[in-house]
Amino acid sequence: MSALANSDTVPRKTAFEVIPAIDIRGGKCVRLFQGDYAQETVYGDPIEMALHWETLGAPRLHVVDLDGAREKRPVNHALVLELARAVRIPVEVSGGIRTMETVRMWADAGVDRIQLGSAAVADPGLVRDAVAAFRDRVVVSIDCRDGEVMTNGWLDGSGIQVLDLARAMAAAGVVRIMVTDISRDGALAGPNLPLYGELVRELPVPVVASGGVGSNVDLVALARLGCEGVIVGKALYEGRVDLRQALEAVSC
């Protein structure tokens, strides 16, 4: 049995999720510092890392095609699909998803969640079409720096404020929104709690946080704010957060 999803799955209330990130560039599992492609750390084979996090109890995996985000099209899709088939837990996919054909490719492949990022700014119609076709499997991922939404692999400013875009996406029928504070990403200095608190208060849909986690204290704080979950990358790979202990901490 693989992690490939049933498209008729109905969302249900779950415990706060600590979700390991697997960012893929050049076929390797890597981490970038604040989205800077020049500041890259390589952690090895993505499938081996996926199986490792699954063994430690990860509820799902957050897989990003970094090459795809930069090229605005899927690049590592064969590897990502192989990864999704190798594990039993759900997999969400992000990076380079800019057309309905690509959305449908991932949906037909059976991945659990499909994330639209830059497309939410460049092509809101795509978001509406994707939601109409695949409902709860569509997630909008919003990346921001100093409150401004960034696009194209965190390279370009949009002039749009994060809360404004998040509200518009919720109004368009998006059932889940992930927000990354780029300035915190990879810094291990703690997440932007005021930002996530505001998003949880103002939005009618679940919020998943990303960026800045450096300890279990950060995870507990996000859970108490009311976030649905958090994406964790560098803190796990550098041993600052132990996944088993983290899952226990947020379950208390």
User: Residues 135, 127: contact at Cβ < 8 Å?
Assistant: no
Is 8 designated active site? no
Work out the number of other CB atoms within 10 angstroms of the CB of residue 54: 18
Place of tokens 């996406």: 169
d(CA 133, CA 7): 10
Residue 144's Cβ-count burial label (10 Å; 0-12, 13-18, 19+) is buried
Is 143 designated active site? yes
Catalytic residue among 67, 143, 181, 185: 143
Distance of alpha carbon 19 from the chain centroid: 8
Work out the number of other CB atoms within 10 angstroms of the CB of residue 204: 8
Q: Where in the sequence numbering do the catalytic residues fall?
A: 23, 143
